[in-house]
Amino acid sequence: MKKHIIIVGGGFAGINLIKSLQNDGRFLITLVDKNNYHFFPPLIYQVATSFIEASNISYPFRKLFSNNKNVRFHMGRFLRVIPESKTIETDTGNLGYDDLVLALGTESNFFGMENVQRYALPMKNIEEALYLRNHILLNLEEAARNKDIKTAQKLQNVVIAGGGPTGVELAGMLAEMGRYIAEKEYPEIKLALSNLYLIDALPTLLSPMSKKAQETACQTLKKLGVKIILNVSVKDYVDGKVILSDGKRIETETLIWTSGVIGREVPGIPEDRVGHGRRILVNAYNQVEGINNIYVLGDLCLQLTEDPYPKGHPQLAQVAIQQGKNLGRNFKRIEDEKVLVPFEYNDKGSMAIISKFNAVVDLPKFSFEGFIAWLTWLFIHIIPLVGFGNKIRLAMDWFRLFITNNPSIRLILYPERNSSKE
């Protein structure tokens, strides 16, 4: 009998676990995901800013695993797990498992601010990125035809909450979009009225990175015209006004939220197994403490067994990738009746692109910046993409776009069913 492993979530962790077990006849693997595709989150901000197509960073699960005899796909939204019967519930049916792997990732954390949650624009998935793209383009069109200066300025103002890598990269991209595109294609708009704010509650941008990277990011963004506000947090968003903790108010129709994440809720897991940030507590082998046959990977798991990371591993792609591969090896070791190998994170560094030809890279032993860092960033972000065609298309698109400074995919699309059809 094949061991049936259900993997919920087709992100970095789930995909790398499947790859480590593919075509191993001892296992039957079912991937469960609400979408029918894998996507590459580190580049999602380039989709939101009309720089690349969503298809450049996405790949259908069924095509990805079409040559793997032991992999199946079930499209459905995860609802809950029932450990007693080894069953999961989805909105498209129930599935039984021998081993369950939860790799659902995180969602935006709005820290209990209802108005921010209702009106701010997060950027955690393809749908949200495309919505943000439409929103920005629609605001530019409305500003172009609006004769009232105050209203036009409100439409052009953009506030980004969160000074981590995503916020910094997004701010740089939007600033260059204004410099190279808006001035040329929107002659009706008075760009002097436009303001791009980057806000963070911490005293520096890119807080997990080196001081050199932080200073470079801050100086470069300021040169691009980004207004950086530090040691201040967003407290509310009311009537088109972002209210800050220092009392300042910024009028804008665009508050982009990149200011924190929280683990996705997993009904059926006991509350005492859930730690800070709604992350699920696991042992050194990614198994939920006290529950047999349930494992958690990636951003959703909280492993406190490794000395260098007493508060858990950073919620980065590399952690998820390495955990997926390690669990795959351990599943094989279980079948071979061998001793399991505990997970140990190999920190390969971090990086962020700031502007055209300028990035910062922190490696374990040294840091560097500028053009070489920018090339390194491009290379590192192409390698993990799923599908050879995606790698080639993205490389060619990047080459063309960085030369011309003018992406041509700024389409405002309204996908909807024609209700007049029978």
Give the pLDDT mean for 256-266.
95
β pairing state of 158-161 and 37-39: unpaired
Q: What's the confidence (pLDDT) of residue 415? A: 58
Other CB atoms within 10 Å distance of the CB of residue 293: 14
CA gap 1, 15 in Å, rounded: 24
Provide the residue ranges of all domains of the chain, joining segments of one domain with +.
Answer: 3-108+261-335, 114-259
323-347 pLDDT, tens digit each: 999 999 999 999 999 999 999 999 9
Cβ contact 125:164 at 8 Å:
no
Q: What is the pLDDT of residue 420?
A: 44
Distance CA 18, CA 10 (A): 9
CA distance 131 to 124: 11
Residues 190-194, mean pLDDT to the nearest whole number: 77
Mean pLDDT (whole number) for 74-96: 97
Distance between CA 34 and CA 180 in Å, rounded?
Answer: 37
Q: Which residue has the tokens 């090339």?
A: 375
Closest CA to 268 of 84, 81, 398: 81
Same-fold call for 3-108+261-335 versus 114-259? yes
* pLDDT of the residue at 146: 87
Q: What is the pLDDT of residue 132?
A: 94
What's the pLDDT score for residue 405?
66
Tell me what pLDDT residue 356 has: 82
Q: State percent of the chain over pLDDT 90.
A: 74
256, two tokens:
């982009």
Token pair for residue 246?
A: 């220092």
Average model confidence (pLDDT) for the chain? 91
Q: What is the pLDDT of residues 115-149, one digit of tens each?
A: 999 999 999 999 999 999 999 999 999 998 988 88
Q: How far apart are CA 71 and CA 189, in angstroms?
A: 53
Residues forming beta bridges with residue 371, ordered by sequence position: none
What class has domain 114-259?
alpha beta
Residue 104 above 90 pLDDT? yes
In tens, the pLDDT along 11-42 reads: 999 999 999 999 999 999 999 999 999 999 99
List the CATH code of the domain at 3-108+261-335.
3.50.50.60
CB atoms within 10 A of CB 55: 16
Average pLDDT over residues 270-295: 96
Quickly state the pLDDT bin for 397 (edges 50, 70, 90). confident
- Report the alpha-carbon distance of residue 375 to residue 391 in Å, rounded: 15
Q: Indicate whether 58 pLDDT > 50.
A: yes
Check residue 422 and give its pLDDT: 41
